[in-house]
A and B are shown apart, each in its own frame.
Chain A
Amino acid sequence: MQAFAALIDGLIYTRSRDLKIRLIADYLRVTPDPDRGWALAALAGTLNIATVKSAAIRAMAEERFDPMLFRMSRDYVGDTAETVALMWPDNSGSAAAPTVSEVIDLLNSTSRARAPAVLAELMDRLDANGRYALLKLATGGMRVGISARLAKTAFGQAFGVSVDDVEEVWHALRPPYAELFAWGEGRTERPDPADSAFFRPFMLAHPLEDGSVQLDDFVAEWKWDGIRIQIASTGGETRLFSRGGDEVTASFPEIAAAFNGIGVVDGELLVRGEVQGGEAASFNALQQRLGRKNVTVAMQAEYPVFVRLYDILFDGAEDLRSQPWTARRDRLELFTANLDSARFDLSAVIEARDFEHLAEIRAAAREAAIEGVMLKRRDSPYLAGRKVGLWYKWKREPLVADCVMMYAQRGSGKRSSFYSDYTFGCWTEEGTLLPVGKAYSGFSDEELKWLDRFVRNNTVARFGPVREVEKSLVLEVAFDAVHQSKRHKSGVAMRFPRISRLRRDKPAEEADTIAALRAMFD
């Protein structure tokens, strides 16, 4: 546990991405199984200990400490887990520190009711840094500025394998990833999970920033305003995955049940709207179905979902990803013909004479579910991530950018008890966030409640009335224009920014860059 605690502290204080990768890689190389696997899971966000929630930490604290002294300390430190770790009396000299796997085993084999007592016993065997790492490990919120991608990159660097190869099998494996380490160390072949339904990384698009493309080389499709979804089925088992690779099968059971193909397909999940004559409705309608672990039959009837397919990765067991888009499209059309048309249809190709014609068609499109146009190279293979020159998204007015919430402040008047004013940022070239604007409108009352709760549960620091939040929530911000600004550190200023939607499905590291905002300058 000490080595893991030292890693966590190292990551907290290290700003350079390369150094962070090196710290993780060094740890993964020298730490024995299964400790390193659990640590990798903790860093990548795939570790979930069901018996410990943050309430357990508070319960443990309230039992041990005077509530007033605890509150004063908590207010000063700004983080419950760290406060408890620091206040806890140090008894660590008397007992051997537990290993990471011992911690995981003990917590996984206890009950929610017993968990605080088990945690307390573990706390007594650790020093302050160990206690901090323990509480972060147990609650799953490491907050060390590491994305899943960075953790996998570090694994790749530790063992000299490519991160794409790691990514390819990652989602079929479970912590503590013994097979992955065996492969990394050259003891076995790469794990072959062909007989299970698992997530493959999505191919993503760059914004079309300057000029146009040749329609001889590129095909145009509508960009649908739903949520990206991947359906993977072995025949026996069908699973749905969201953009980040999270399984969302339980949220859309009717889709999984209706899917009768074998393979892996990529598409947009949309809701049919009555006002749209049974066509796709706006994102707002779809939001009623998001973030629910279980859905009622009534919800399914009121907000009927379907998937508009636009790519196929596997047809049966056949991997089509290296084939050009045109070939995959042919296979997709055949594949879709055998699916239930009430639940699955094809994303149509836009017929345009040339780029100017396409621009006219795009400008005339008024359907609520159309967000813009996608441009895909006709010969593009299906590659993980965002590759230059292959796929572009060409969004419709107004200008929008995906930003990350950084700070929040209470509103005034009716909203004085809500954190309703948000400062959000975009990424610099160096991978840090700089504020680019502030917005306090554009969301519904329901969303405001959710945002307020998010701010309270994810505060990392306080500066007077301002709360700094965990940089994890992506806000899609709409604005009329963006200008160069000398007054702002980011060098950009938005005109009339407002929150156009909450992108809870989008990982923060995929939010827009400041360079992307600059590209939108008038």
Chain B
Amino acid sequence: MWIDPSRPAERALVTHGHADHARSGHGAVWATPETLAIMALRYGTEMGTPVPYGEGFEHGGVKISFHPAGHVLGSAQILLEHAGERVVVTGDYKRRFDPTCTPFEPVACDVLITEATFGLPVFAHPPIEGEIAKLLSAREANVDGCIVVGAYALGKAQRVIAELRRAGYDAPIYIHGAMQKMCELYVAHNVPLGELIMATGLAKAELKGAIVIAPPSAMNDRWARRLPDPITAMASGWMRVRQRARQRNVELPLVISDHADWTELTDTLLELRPSETWITHGRTDALGRWCELHQLKARALDLVGREDEDEG
């Protein structure tokens, strides 16, 4: 039994639908119904056993249950219980409000296996309302052009759209073709996104004053050439660091992340106070140092091939 195996495994528990966690080709898969739907969309006909939040099953004497992680639609922490010992694998998580998914629930445990994507004290994600306001005022100042927002196709894109709606923006939002199916999946899971129009194939004049959401990979590509005077925005936690934004030719950095920032990571450790913490995904060294300073037992769990910056 593996959790988020990076190679095809006979039995896999999958925390959420991002490609570096949910790979194709496993024998048996256990995941939340939403994650299974996302995997089916991405990989075709794959099937698995749905495990709704709060529910579980037993395998080889271990009780396995799934709990909300607040990262993207369907994302889960996995609790393993055996002989009175509780191990929680957070997967990717955040603790901020997100209209597109179920909020994180802290799960008491003895061992916490935590992510640390933004595990440096420089990462503090600001309130999303301010970032959305920045996006809207940039649009107003550039009605003859458009704003193209780089956002990961699963999760970030839908969250940005839903937050724009929450801020009262009810004009159509234009999306890159690669996002259409995922947006439809979100809507089918009761996440309203308002009117979405495919940007692909539209004339420049039709996109004047528009907000266009595209995967980061499309932004500096030929696809973006059809846009009228676009301002390049990027919705990512990495945008907190100026040089990172400049390296990617971003003109309007939006610090919007689906991961826990430094304070969320450390507050979660203080809240749960596990007797042992294993750190994976990202800055294991810095979060490990913090644990040392706070007399929490911790060690780094090194995984390979686990850095996908577009996902930040």
Interface residues of A (CB under 8 A from B): 9, 12-15, 65-66, 68-69, 72-73, 76-79, 82-83, 86-87, 90, 128, 132, 460-461
Contact = CB atoms under 8 A, between A and B. Distances in A.
A87 B121 contact: yes
B247 A461 contact: yes
Contacts of B289: 66, 68-69, 72
Contacts of A82: 241-243
B278 interface: no
Interface string B234-246: 0000001111011
Interface string B247-275: 10111110000000000000000000000
CB-based closest 8 A-B pairs: A86-B122, A87-B121, A73-B122, A72-B286, A13-B251, A68-B289, A461-B243, A73-B120
Given A69-B121, A73-B120, A13 B246 contact: yes
A293 B152 CA distance: 54
Contacts of B46: none
28 contacts: A9-B242, A13-B250, A13-B251, A13-B252, A15-B251, A65-B121, A66-B289, A66-B293, A68-B289, A69-B286, A69-B290, A72-B283, A72-B286, A72-B289, A73-B120, A73-B122, A73-B286, A76-B120, A77-B241, A77-B243, A79-B242, A82-B242, A86-B121, A86-B124, A86-B240, A86-B241, A128-B124, A461-B247
Contacts of A79: 242-243
B231 to A, nearest CB: 10
Contact of B243 (A15, A66, A72, A460): A460
A87 B122 CA distance: 5
A78 B243 contact: yes
B245 A73 contact: no
A460 B244 CA distance: 11
Contacts of A65: 121
Given A69-B290, A72-B286, A73-B122, 10 more contacts: A13-B245, A14-B251, A68-B289, A72-B120, A73-B121, A76-B122, A77-B122, A78-B243, A82-B243, A86-B241
B122 A83 contact: yes
Contact of B241 (A13, A66, A69, A76): A76
B285 interface: yes
B84 to A, nearest CB: 35
Nearest to A143: B242
B282 to A, nearest CB: 11
Interface of B: 120-124, 126, 240-243, 245-247, 249-253, 283, 285-286, 289-290, 293
B35 to A, nearest CB: 31
A69 B243 CA distance: 19
A393 B286 CA distance: 56
Contacts of B293: 66
Contacts of B126: 128
Contacts of A77: 122, 241, 243
Q: Which of B123, B286, B293 has the most CB of A within 10 A?
A: B286
Contacts of A73: 120-122, 286
Contacts of B243: 77-79, 82, 460-461
A131 to B, nearest CB: 12
Contacts of B251: 13-15
Contacts of A9: 242
Contacts of A69: 120-121, 286, 289-290
Contacts of B245: 13
A86 B118 CA distance: 13
A15 B248 CA distance: 12
B117 to A, nearest CB: 13
A393 B245 CA distance: 41
Nearest to B289: A68
Nearest to B130: A127
Given A66-B289, A69-B289, A12 B246 contact: yes
Nearest to B292: A68
Q: Which of A69, A77, A83, A461 has the most CB of B within 10 A?
A: A69
Contact of B253 (A13, A68, A128): A13
A503 B107 CA distance: 62
B139 to A, nearest CB: 16
A82 B120 CA distance: 14
Nearest to B242: A12
A86 B285 CA distance: 19
A346 to B, nearest CB: 50
A82 B241 CA distance: 8
Contacts of B285: 72
Nearest to A19: B251
Nearest to B286: A72
Nearest to A85: B122
A79 B245 CA distance: 14
Contacts of B249: 15
A13 B283 CA distance: 27
Contacts of A83: 122
Contacts of A132: 242
A127 to B, nearest CB: 8
A259 B252 CA distance: 54
A343 to B, nearest CB: 48
Nearest to A460: B243
A15 B250 CA distance: 10
B140 to A, nearest CB: 15
Contacts of A14: 251
A237 B178 CA distance: 71
A86 B124 CA distance: 8
A521 B241 CA distance: 41
A90 B123 CA distance: 12
Nearest to B123: A86
A77 B242 CA distance: 8
A13 B248 CA distance: 10
A40 B261 CA distance: 36
A182 to B, nearest CB: 30
A90 B130 CA distance: 15
Nearest to B122: A86
Contacts of A461: 243, 247
